[in-house]
Amino acid sequence: MEGDGAESFAYHPSVAWSVVNEAVTQIDNVKEYPGLYESDDFGHLILSELAGASEIAFITEVGYSIDECNHIPQFPGRADITIEIVQTLGGSDEINF
């Protein structure tokens, strides 16, 4: 079935990553960890690539987090996503991400 009555299937994968960067910048009493920004940038890159990976699979929800201080110099991130896959007539059931 296609169009307004199209069926879709929801999947709920999680994606995890981590960036290790020991660099620290300190000005007065303020420390800045570039690895935190790198991990966030990498997470956004991953989500961007997943969003454009298929013509019939759409990211409909994202829970996104970066653990900024518990594992320094490692900055792990996680995205819990919902992917809706629309069933189409004559379409392949195979989706390559």
- Reading the block at residue 65, the tokens are 């987090």
With respect to residue 92, please indicate whether it lies within any of the assigned structural domains: no
Distance CA 28, CA 89 (A): 63
- Scored b (16 or more CB within 10 A) or e, 54-72 reads beebebeeeeeebeeeeeb
With respect to residue 91, please indicate whether it lies within any of the assigned structural domains: no
Supply the range of the domain harboring residue 81: 3-86
With respect to residue 56, please indicate whether it lies within any of the assigned structural domains: yes
Q: What is the residue-level pLDDT of the chain in tens, covering all 97 positions? A: 445 555 888 999 999 999 999 999 999 999 999 999 999 999 999 999 999 888 888 999 999 999 988 889 999 999 999 999 887 665 555 555 5
Whole-prediction pTM: 0.77
- Total residue length of the chain: 97
With respect to residue 94, please indicate whether it lies within any of the assigned structural domains: no
> What pLDDT score does 1 carry?
41
CB atoms within 10 A of CB 50: 18
With respect to residue 97, please indicate whether it lies within any of the assigned structural domains: no
| Total number of domains constituting the chain | 1
